[in-house]
Amino acid sequence: MTVPWQQLVAALGNDRLRRVYGGWVLADVDALDVPDAPDAPDVPDAPDAADAPDAADAADVPVATDASADLGPGVGSGPGLDSGSGLDSGSGLDSGSGFDLGTVFDLGTVAERTKLARAGLLTEVDGRLRVARDVFNDVLAAAGKSRPTGVDRFFAQGMLTGIPRNAADRDEVLAHLVIRLFGTEDVLSEPEVNRLLSTVTADVPTLRRALVDFAFLRRDRDGSLYWRTA
């Protein structure tokens, strides 16, 4: 469902919500262009048995130790690596890599994420929040489709689609047409009236009769001349 553009602007106008939304955009791993994994390096052939070091040489080979013990602090199981979902509970975004995105990006509180979701900036996918990537396109498209108001509701491409049944709408349309097509001092023959009405309708007799019946036009007794009533 497309949200009103005013609601979207209001959310992004809040400095805090804008910061949180920026964090979600940066942390949305589904939106990242992750390159393919490089080809595995060629594995050299196993050495021949004759080339293997004898027992005496083996004494010079250092014994393998725990790699994390020699790499210094901060490497191995230190902070920044998460064996779980990748985020603290409730954030709704799972990096899938085990990296704790919540320690890098400001993903906001539950209340802030709820506000972003209500504004259409976040959306729920498979039970998890994701950045709504089409929200701006949807809002712009909806804003461009403005609905006609007033007498414009009864016109399409400048032509009358029909005389409204509602009395108020009918009078508004007929008054609009009289003012638009006829001068206050014009006295016109029926062919002249027909020519003017044909610019707004394909059903000239019906519209002409409606203008006369509802007293927007008057005509003389023989019906040869027409003029505005006001």
pLDDT tens-place string over residues 103-137: 567 788 888 888 888 878 888 787 788 888 777 77
Number of domain units in the chain: 2
Averaged pLDDT for residues 194-200: 95
Are 137 and 29 contained in the same domain? yes
Extract the tokens encoding 182: 């006829």
Are 171 and 195 contained in the same domain? yes
Are 98 and 160 contained in the same domain? no
**197 pLDDT higher than 90:** yes
Are 164 and 101 contained in the same domain? no
Cα–Cα distance for residue pair 188/144, rounded to 1 Å: 41
Are 171 and 138 contained in the same domain? no
Element (H, E) at 193: helix 190-197
Q: pLDDT over 90 for what percent of the chain?
A: 30
Are 220 and 154 contained in the same domain? yes
All residues at 6 or more sequence positions from 15 whose CB lies less than 8 Å from its CB, including other chains: none
What CATH number has the domain bearing residue 173? 1.10.10
Instruction: Judge contact between 28 and 128, C-beta under 8 A.
Output: no
pLDDT reported for residue 37: 40
Choose the most confident range, by mean pLDDT, from 1-5, 7-11, 203-207.
Answer: 203-207
pLDDT band at 143 (very low <50, low <70, confident <90, very high): low
Are 184 and 135 contained in the same domain? no
Are 21 and 97 contained in the same domain? yes
What's the whole-model pTM score? 0.41
**189 pLDDT higher than 80:** yes
Element (H, E) at 188: strand 188-189
Are 80 and 159 contained in the same domain? no
Cα–Cα distance for residue pair 173/164, rounded to 1 Å: 8
Rg (CA), the chain: 38
Are 122 and 11 contained in the same domain? yes
CA nearest 93: which of 37, 149, 141, 27? 27
> pLDDT tens digits for 202-228?
999 999 999 999 999 999 998 899 999
**156 pLDDT higher than 80:** yes
All residues at 6 or more sequence positions from 2 whose CB lies less than 8 Å from its CB, including other chains: 120, 138, 139, 141, 142
Cα–Cα distance for residue pair 228/218, rounded to 1 Å: 6
pLDDT reported for residue 151: 92
Extract the tokens encoding 70: 């020699």
Extract the tokens encoding 17: 């919500």
Are 18 and 129 contained in the same domain? yes
CA nearest 108: which of 126, 95, 125, 121? 121
Torsion of CA 125, 129, 131, 135, to 10 degrees: 60
More confidently predicted of 147 and 60: 147
pLDDT reported for residue 11: 79
Q: Provide the residue range defining the domain that includes 60.
A: 5-33+45-143
